[in-house]
Amino acid sequence: MRLSEHKYRTTSRIAGQLLYVENVHAARIGEVVKVFGPHNIALEGEILEIVRDNILIQLFGETRGLNTEDLEIVFTDTIRQVPLARDIIGRRFNGSFAPLDGLPMFYASEWRPARGYPINPVARLKPEEFIETGISAIDGLNTLVKGQKLPIFSCAGLPAKELVAHILQNARLRESSKRFAVIFVALGLTFHEYSFYLEALQNIESEFVAIINMADDPVMERLMAPRFALTVAEYLAFDHDMDILVLVTDMTNYCDALREISNARKELPGRRGYPGYMYSDLASLYERAGRIMDSKGSITMIPVITMPEDDITHPIPDLTGYITEGQIVLSRELHQQGIFPPIDVLPSLSRLMQKGIGPGKTRDDHRDLANQLYKNYAKGRELKKLEAIVGRDGMAETDQLLLDFAAVFENEFIHQEKQTRSIYNTLDKGSEILERFNLLQQNLLKK
């Protein structure tokens, strides 16, 4: 272990935000370095790769005005750490974890590595109890459970940010005695999107922490922001017994940043040009969610993925699906019908739903009600294809009834505009639609 900072002036090449330094005698992966250049330029970076005595450094900032002759590289013998304290709640930070809200930095009671500590699989507890989002298509049919990883798969042009804002403002626990907070991570935002989310944060009911990375911020900050957020989440959940919901938008920007750095390093590309280690990199983030023994807190995660070219088999949603426990899929067709949120409940799935519903959590008939709604809606959606061929008049009356059920289900259950429903209002709405359908079915059979 080195006991002091080491300084070098052996930079051999600058490539974008990457520095190549030669003849380094002691360094480690993830070590923080300081870079000093002409005209009072001072930057920070992180060691990405070590090959014998050659070091590759990723800078947090622009390299304009730098040249290899005038650079001084200082190796600090420290890794990237996050300051932590209870005062972090209610604050906004940028991708380098500097305050964005105009307030001074809080006094840190401790520091922890941004990359976190691996959770012992044996110490993990099963996710249980549900988190209410106020959205019927999620709460009623794809219930979010504490400790779960449930991604949202969106497409370009769909109202994903409005859905994120709705969850951000309305997510809560039914058990009000427990402390709950939302950690919001935004990656690669435009100024318009930043203004939108800033307004949403001002109207949030729960406690929150926000980490915002703008589109013109350094690429490396985009990779570090989720790690900062999850370190904060682990501190609040496992040290202070809080239930934490981590909401990350948009992981596509994260993966594009990963590809950009990989290409700059001239690594062998994988599918669609993304690095072959993208799966393990995503897993290192997603697997930090969960519940552990001897802690009353939990970390639940909702990453948002904008699927390039509306392709659910694209590497980003594909690999995400392998790691997480389900998905919420947004539909362009429902959006065109004016339905908000345009959640397509048929390909959507919450694999842990059963752990969060039932006696003592939601109503006893929740599972049966969800099954009936699914079954009838799936039949109605399938009959829409037949209607396009033979027309409504060419179909049996029972089939027409299922078509009407599908339309009512979309317009009254899925569609909420900006309305927020409790889980009980959601179940009541589903029961009402199902009772109306069953009554019409019985009257049809009597004819």
3-state SS, residue 420: coil
pTM: 0.92
What local confidence, expressed as pLDDT, does residue 361 receive?
A: 83
Asked if residue 420 has pLDDT above 70, the reply is yes
Is the four-CA dihedral 112, 115, 116, 118 of positive or negative sign?
negative
Q: 176 falls in which pLDDT band (50, 70, 90)?
A: low
Count of Cβ atoms closer than 10 Å to residue 207 Cβ: 15
Mean pLDDT along residues 14-43: 85
pLDDT of 121 over the 90 cut: no
Which tens digits make up the pLDDT trace of 233-285? 999 999 999 999 999 998 999 999 999 888 888 888 888 899 999 999 999 99
Closest CA to 24 of 69, 77, 62, 66: 77
Looking at residue 78, its pLDDT comes to 86
Provide the pLDDT confidence category of residue 351 given band limits of 50, 70 and 90. very high
Total residue length of the chain: 447
Q: What angle, rounded to 10 degrees, do the helices at 251-264 and 278-286 form?
A: 140
Could you count the other beta carbons within 10 Å of the beta carbon of residue 205?
12
Give the Cα separation of 45 and 50 in Å (integer): 14
Rounded Cα distance, 43 and 200, in Å: 33
Strand 349-350 and strand 207-214: the pairing is unpaired
In the numeric block, the tokens 């919001």 are attached to 184
Model pLDDT, residue 301: 97
Structure tokens at 121: 């699989």
Is the pLDDT higher at 67 or at 242?
242
Model pLDDT, residue 2: 45
Cα–Cα distance measured from residue 357 to residue 201, given in angstroms and rounded to the nearest whole number: 29
Predicted local distance difference test score (pLDDT) of residue 5 = 62
What contacts 192, CB < 8 A, 6 or more positions away?
Answer: none
Domains of the chain: 6-79 (2.40.30.20), 82-356 (3.40.50.12240), 366-446 (no CATH)
Output the six-digit token pair for 144.
Answer: 């979010």
Q: Where is average pLDDT lowest: 12-26, 120-134, 201-215? A: 12-26
Q: Which two tokens stand for residue 222?
A: 């985009």
Beta pairing, strands 72-79 & 31-36: antiparallel
Instruction: Tell me the CB-side half-sphere exposure of residue 39, using CA atoms within 13 A.
Output: 5
User: How many percent of the chain have pLDDT more than 90?
Assistant: 60
Between CA 427 and CA 187 the distance in angstroms is 35
Distance (Å, rounded) from C-alpha 54 to C-alpha 419?
A: 58
More confident residue, 441 or 341: 341
Report whether pLDDT(4) > 80: no
Residue type, 1: M
| Structure token digits, residue 72 | 């001084």
What's the rounded Cα separation, in Å, for the pair 290 and 298?
6
Q: Average pLDDT, whole number, for the chain?
A: 90
Q: What is the mean pLDDT of residues 97-107?
A: 91
- Do residues 265 and 18 touch, judged by C-beta distance below 8 A? yes
Predicted confidence (pLDDT) per residue in 289-339, tens digit: 999 998 899 999 999 999 998 999 999 999 999 999 999 999 999 999 999
Average pLDDT over residues 9-33: 86
- Single-letter residue type at 195: S
Asked whether the predicted pLDDT for residue 379 surpasses 90, the reply is yes
pLDDT at 3: 44
